[in-house]
Amino acid sequence: MNWEYQITKAETAEAFQASLNQLGAEGWEAISGTYAVGETKKVVLGQGMAPSIAVGAPSWVAVLKRAIKPAASN
């Protein structure tokens, strides 16, 4: 059996769930999922202000798969 894969991501749990439900209705199956927060970094606010720390953006990420239907043979 051959598979095709897709990655989906969202910034909120609600958007992530909606995305997974939509993809599930299209035949996709989640095989892995995770929640992560991006790296923190120093940002300069300008006008002589000291650098500040910005926390990375949160994201939900999933890998999905579905079977590729074989082409009909004649």
The three state secondary structure string of the chain is CCEEEEEEEECCHHHHHHHHHHHHHCCCEEEEEEEEECCCEEECCCCCCCCEEECCCEEEEEEEEEECCCCCCC
Query: pLDDT tens track of the chain, all 74 residues?
Result: 899 999 999 989 999 999 999 999 999 999 999 998 876 666 777 777 776 666 677 889 999 999 998 877 66
- Domain residues of the chain, as ranges? 3-67
What's this model's pTM, rounded to 2 decimal places?
0.69
Q: φ and ψ at 26, to 5 degrees?
A: -95, 5
